[in-house]
Structure 1
Amino acid sequence: MEQNKYVDKLLKLTKSATSQFHTVLETKKQLEEAGFEEVALRENWDLKRGGKYFMVHHDSTIFAFTIGEEFEGEDGFRLAACHGDFPGFRIKPNPEIVTEGYVQLNTEVYGGVNLASWLDRPLSIAGRVVLRSEDVFHPEVRLVDFKRPLLTIPNIAIHLQKEMNQGVELNRQTQMIPLLGKLAEGEKKEGYFANLLAEEMGVKAEDILEYELNVYNFEEGCLTGAKEEFISAPRLDNLTSVQALATAIIDADRTKGINCAIVYDHEEIGSRSKQGAQSTLIVTILKKIYAALGYSETAFSNAIMDSLLISADVSHAIHPSYAAKNDPTNKAKLNEGFCIKEACSQGYATDSEAIAIVQQICEKEGIAYQKFVNRSDGSAGGTLGSIVSAILPVRTVDMGIPMFAMHSSREFMGREDQESLVKFMTAYFSL
């Protein structure tokens, strides 16, 4: 099967977006290439109709927006939000653990990780490093990505743990510690990792004050299946949505209203942070846009009532080996369209009016979609949709790509579903 542009963009992003900071960096590059102008939250904004803008918040959240050339205050917002972080491991301070001469890095688990899926894989390191500066209130901040396999979490041989295939619990502190290297005779462990990091960045080890560093799966994504109808790749949750939103807001041609695409951080750990969906960031920015265009807060409040939010995050496809895990009448399948996700608990923030809007867009544009609902005797996670809609009371729909192996170090999806999500988001931002 011939590879299409939607697959190309997604696979490129899964290779380069190796931390939440790199997710934002790569999104920013796409926006800048498309002519978007960067603005800063601490500055006054001079916005114009027909303008395209973006704002980066603490390096790990990005907010892009366009203003229609025929914009009027009552037009309202078309909002779409997703997250750019992913489950994995973060390196702790003073990380060196030395046992029998082997150097391991002490890590903490970030999000709901399928631990076993990280064993015996080539792993690397990426994230943000903060350096000493002359102005103590403005330290120097740099991103780093080693872009080579540095670490492994080796499994134990089945000969030494014969009950392995019966299901063995992995201890996060003792059995999931990545192996970095082996000390030479007489070599000290102190500063082992700091020196490696300093050498990679071309700085002095003593100038490294702090860091936020991911351990990430170094393997690249690829097409698989007899007809190359599937994608296997790290970080599909939730780079599928990041790329869909970025492509859509760049390609859309709506002349009325304001389109907004947000990539949040910290969704995998609950969204409760200054960069997360539980912050007041979205309200602050939308109000600032309206004020910069000369409208009152009352006009903003009125416009919100005719606005819509899409919460874009991956969904669960029915697995052929675990079919009983899914709802008996709502079974999402790979390559049959993106999923509209529903839950009366509001774990997915959907309502019938908002879903009807999505369905009509799909019918108008000939876009495939499916519906996903959890089994009544279980749950399958939540999203930032219900969080944002509690802060900003707009009609909201949760949707996303159906997939297998969610939260594994390598995930699995249908290639056609990315196209359906991108086409929907583009139509949503255009109609």
Structure 2
Amino acid sequence: MNTQAKDLLSFIDASPSPWHAVNTVEQHLLNQGFKQLHESEAWQVNAGDSYYVVRGGASIIAFTLGSKNPTETGFRIVGAHTDSPSLRLKPNAAYGNDGLVRIGVEVYGGPILATFTDRDLSVAGRVTIRTANGFETRLVKFDNAMMRLPNLAIHMNREVNDKGLVLNKQTELPLIFGENEAGVEADKQFLCHIAAALKVEAKDILTFELNVFDTQKGVFWGANQEFIADSQLDNLASCHATITALTAAKNPDSTCICALFDHEEVGSESTTGASGSFLNDVVNRIASGLQLDEEAKLRALAQSFFISADMAHAYHPNHPSAYEPCHHVLVNKGPVIKTNANQRYSTNAETAARFITLCESAGVPYQQYAHRTDLGCGSTIGPIVASNLGVPSVDVGSPMWAMHSIRESAGVLDHSYMIAVLKAMFKS
């Protein structure tokens, strides 16, 4: 179990942006014998073989074709998301005043902004470079601490411990990058830094999508090292568990699919998000490759099952009033089945029972979660995929603390439990 948790931390530390996450997954799949497919090319797929396809650089779907026809077994699908709440750099990010270069950022999703202060921050993402044939996209990641968001001293914010830290998103979030070099425009100074890392000229940088991340590596913590802490546990922990389970599925009877989407934290409405056509397109092309007509595909979908894997809220003993009294989810006590009567989660009685059966077959404990009725409940990709595909679905996740903080915590045992139950899913 420690080995799986250590592998998770390495995966997260190598993946500080959605584009890096997909690249890390892709390299792992290639090492496991998966073959790459391209949406712009014709597909030829064979029973028993494994494949993957990337869309937009930040979403990836991998699958292994089962030994049995999907009309007999249906599809076994697990989904998660590659993005996490963060700060994203604006297109014209750098500006100088008072002798300093600052970096303008935009809030992506719903991060706990106060947790970004006084951290060793850097940037990672993708950059488009002008070439003789147009442009190409390259990944960039700065391992050293490049930026910082210093807190205002308590002497100038006397009520910070009573009222909490509140940051104006426009004026108080720009990050300090460095001293403004004499005679050099701030934007050029910043672009030259990126260009040097990519070994190109600054004038050849066309555009970029850069994500702010914490350079501190993931760690084990606790009296017996039973917990882990890192950035992006929501939801790279679910991505890692899903891919680990899929690559362990050797010669499955059912066709097994892992779908990792971008843009969940901002509503999934994009070509690479769960609301887009990506998963539907892949299922259709699998069906076509297996020579299933439309009726046969619909018969297969009717026998399919979808698990939406996203992290869950663990009970925090310092804040008991934030939780539903009979739904205290505990760290290291097993996967969480998430239920909401208003369909913020896709779980129903039958799909919950099916997941419980999978947990029992894997020897894994499980827990039930419902949000306080007087608090707004978050959502995830479960309802979106279930409605798009028309398949029964359950929303589950590993319990964690400090969701959407730049530094989140979870349990060592829970990650292994999730891998085990997803392995059981792909065997079912």
What one-letter code is carried by the residue in structure 1 that aligns with 2:141? Answer: D
| Partner Cα distance (1:270, 1:190) in 2 | 31
Aligned counterpart in structure 1 of residue 150 of structure 2, from 149, 154, 165? 154
Contact 1:266 1:275 in 2 (8 A): yes
Which residue of 33, 36, 39 corresponds with 1:35? 33
Equivalences for 1:60-79 in 2 at 5 Å? 60-79=58-77
2:335 and 2:417 in contact (8 A); partners too: yes
Within-5 A mapping of 1:66-145: 66-136=64-134, 139-145=135-141
Tell me the distance in 2 between the aligned counterparts of 1:316 and 1:401. Answer: 8
Distance 2:275 2:321 in 1: 34
- Quote the Cα distance in structure 2 between the aligned partners of 1:267 and 1:252: 26
- Equivalent-residue separation in structure 2 for 1:121 and 1:284 (angstroms): 41
8 Å Cα contact 1:71/1:255 also seen in 2: no
Maintained 8 Å contact 2:114/2:166: no
* Partner of residue 230, structure 1: 227
- 2:177 is aligned to 180
2:257 is aligned with 1:260: yes
Matches within 5 A, 1:346-361: 346-361=343-358
Deviation at 1:376, TM superposition (A): 1.3
Q: 2:44 aligns with which of 46, 60, 63?
A: 46
CA contact (8 A) 1:147 1:218 kept: yes
Give unmatched runs, 5+ long, in structure 2. none
SS of residue matched to 2:172: coil
RMSD: 1.2
* Deviation sequence 1:56-99 (CA, Å, 0-9, x none): 11110000000123335332100010000011111112211222
Counterpart of 2:427, as a letter, is: S
User: 2:403 is matched by which residue type in structure 1?
Assistant: M
Secondary structure of 1:357's aligned partner: helix
Is the contact made by 1:252 and 1:427 (CA closer than 8 Å) also made in structure 2? no
The size of the alignment, in residue pairs, is: 427
What is the Cα deviation at residue 190 of structure 1? 4.1
Q: Is the 8 Å Cα contact of residues 77 and 258 (structure 1) preserved in structure 2?
A: yes
* 1:134/1:184 CA distance change after superposition, 3 Å: closer
Structure 2 vs 1, CA of residues 261 and 72 (structure 1 numbering), >3 Å: closer, same or farther?
closer
Partner Cα separation in structure 2 for residue 200 and residue 52 of structure 1:
35
2:159 — aligned with what? 163
Equivalence for 2:10: 12
Please give the residue correspondences for 1:367-386 in structure 2 after superposition, counting only pairs within 5 Å. Answer: 367-386=364-383
Residue 210 of structure 1: SS of its match in structure 2?
A: strand
With normalisation by structure 2, the TM-score equals 0.97
Q: Within 5 Å, which residues of 2 pair with 1:282-431?
A: 282-431=279-428
The AA in structure 1 aligned to 2:209 is E
- Aligned equivalents of 2:118, 2:252: Cα separation in 1: 51
Q: In 1, distance between residues paired with 2:409 and 2:225? A: 12
The one-letter amino acid of 1:27's match is: V
Give the superposition deviation at 1:254: 5.0
Higher deviation after alignment, 30-39 or 189-198: 189-198
Name the CA distance, whole Å, in 2 between partners of 1:299 and 1:106: 52
TM-score if structure 1 supplies the norm length? 0.97
Runs of 4+ in 1 over 4 A off after TM superposition: none
CA distance in 1, matches of 2:84, 2:285: 30
Q: Distance in 2 between matches of 1:211 and 1:32?
A: 27
Partner letter of residue 383 of structure 2?
S
- CA–CA separation in structure 2 for the residues paired with 1:317 and 1:189: 43
Q: 3-state SS of the aligned residue for 1:191?
A: helix
Contact 2:252 2:426 in 1 (8 A): no
* Matches of 2:236 and 2:12, distance apart in 1: 7
Query: Deviations 1:130-155 (Å, cap 9, x if unpaired)?
Result: 1113344xx21111111211010111
Secondary structure in structure 2 of the residue aligned to 1:356? helix
CA distance in 2, matches of 1:85, 1:198: 25
Aligned residue number for residue 248 of structure 1: 245
Give secondary structure in 2 for the equivalent of 1:255. Answer: coil
Q: Deviations over 1:99-134 (max 9, x none)?
A: 210111011010001010000000111101111133
C-alpha separation in 1, matches of 2:97 and 2:406: 26
- C-alpha distance in 2 between matches for 1:282 and 1:28: 17
Residues 306-336 of structure 1, C-alpha deviation per residue, up to 9 Å, x if partnerless? 1000000001011011111111111100110
Preserved CA contact (<8 Å) 2:127 2:140: yes
CA distance change for structure 1 residues 189 and 369 in 2, over 3 Å: closer, same or farther? Answer: same
- Check if 1:212 corresponds to 2:203: no
1:161 and 1:72, CA in 2 relative to 1: closer, same or farther beyond 3 A? closer
Separation in 1, partners of 2:72, 2:422: 22
SS at 2:351 equivalent? helix
Percentage identity across paired residues of the two chains: 36
**Cα offset, 1:405, TM superposition:** 0.5
Letter in 2 for 1:319: H
Q: Indicate how the Cα distance of structure 1 residues 125 and 190 shifts in structure 2: closer, same or farther if over 3 A, else same.
A: closer
Amino acid at match of 2:138: R
Deviation for aligned residue 1:284: 1.1
